[in-house]
Homo-oligomer: A and B are copies of this chain.
Amino acid sequence: MRLVSQIGISRRALVAGLATLPALSTTLSSASAQAQAVTPGDQLPSWNQGPAKQAIIDFVHTTVDRSSSNYVAPEERIAVFDQDGTLWVEHPIYAQVMYCLDRVPAVAAREPELRDVEPFKTVLSGDREAIAKLSMPDLEKILVATLTGITTDEFNTEVKKWLEAARDPRWNRPYTDLIYQPMLEVLRYLRDSGYKTYIVTGGGQDFVRVYSEKVYGIPPEQVVGTAGATKLDYDKDGNPFLTKEPKLLLNDDKAGKPEGIHLMIGRRPYAAFGNSVGDCEMLEWTGAGQGARLKMLVLHDDAKREYAYGPAEGLPDTKVGTFTPALLDEAKSKGWTVISMKEDWKQVFAFESDGRPR
């Protein structure tokens, strides 16, 4: 095994995921569908009237209005979105960590000597309690083994297959169903207003790119994430292929987010959406630009329809998508807008009103 740093998902994600694994097996009641009172012409129908919705609308109006001092030229219109906890559910554990754990049997089939080697032995045992106790270096070994040493084509195929088969335990739905309807509306509204929408995620760039276009309407080239190197090689017929290497190029979390934005986009965003301490630097970077800049943070304060965690505002503490009191203080002092899932979102998921059976 190559004992290198984690590849394809940020270090924070790993630590967090590990600590919360035991919560995985619980299945709770689904959220109840809520009535939709759609205002004609309202591009954000899943949002309740309030400061969050108004901040989005005001930002769009002032930046696309040619007569406004805040007018932004179309080519400069860049909006960035964290993914986990901002566009889709991140609790109790990141979907990509589930993918990696689920991939261990396939890796062990390819390399049978791993069956008797930790941490693979523990993962193969299926003992959730033991899995949850794995050390950070152990989980890194699992990520390296499951996310690298595979061609980019094989990886795409495997992730696609997994996404079709895997189910979130609470809603018993594909993970890609657990995207926030209000955020889909924001993505669409910004795109309709000439904004290029990007995902800037601590998750694996290659992982998210597999489904981003279908799920969010965001093409792979507009997904910035934690990324490893690849290596070009040729098969016996001389055909080139790329293999995912265990070498980290971009840890797209915290300071890595503005760094990743510079590397992959090369422009400062005008709008940034996040939900945790990992997004703080991205919002600071966005806010340091001139003119109107939209900085928003989703606060998970809705245990009934989704999850409640902070520890800001006295919500339960968590290592997955931590929203600290210090982050809330910074948001207040810098005029960032906090989105209360409970107060601001009429509906959380598209499936709440689509009538499809679970």
Q: Which residues of A contact B (CB under 8 A)?
A: 75, 78, 152, 196, 205-206, 209, 213, 219-221, 223, 227, 229-232, 239-240, 242, 249-250, 255, 258-259, 262-267, 281, 284-285, 288
Contacts and interface: CB of A to CB of B under 8 A. Distances in A.
A54 B121 CA distance: 60
Contact of A262 (B75, B213, B223, B242): B242
Contacts of A220: 265-267
A213 B75 contact: yes
Q: Most chain-B Cβ atoms within 10 A of its Cβ — which of A230, A262, A288?
A: A262
Nearest to A250: B249
Given A232-B258, A242-B258, A255-B232, A263 B227 contact: yes
Chain A at the B interface: SS class: mixed
Nearest to A78: B221
A223 B264 contact: no
A39 to B, nearest CB: 31
B227 A242 contact: no
Given A75-B213, A240-B285, A281-B240, A230 B249 contact: no
28 contacts: A75-B213, A152-B262, A196-B221, A205-B266, A206-B266, A220-B267, A221-B264, A221-B265, A221-B267, A227-B263, A229-B259, A230-B259, A230-B262, A231-B255, A231-B259, A232-B255, A232-B258, A232-B285, A239-B288, A240-B258, A240-B281, A240-B284, A240-B285, A242-B258, A242-B259, A249-B249, A249-B263, A264-B264
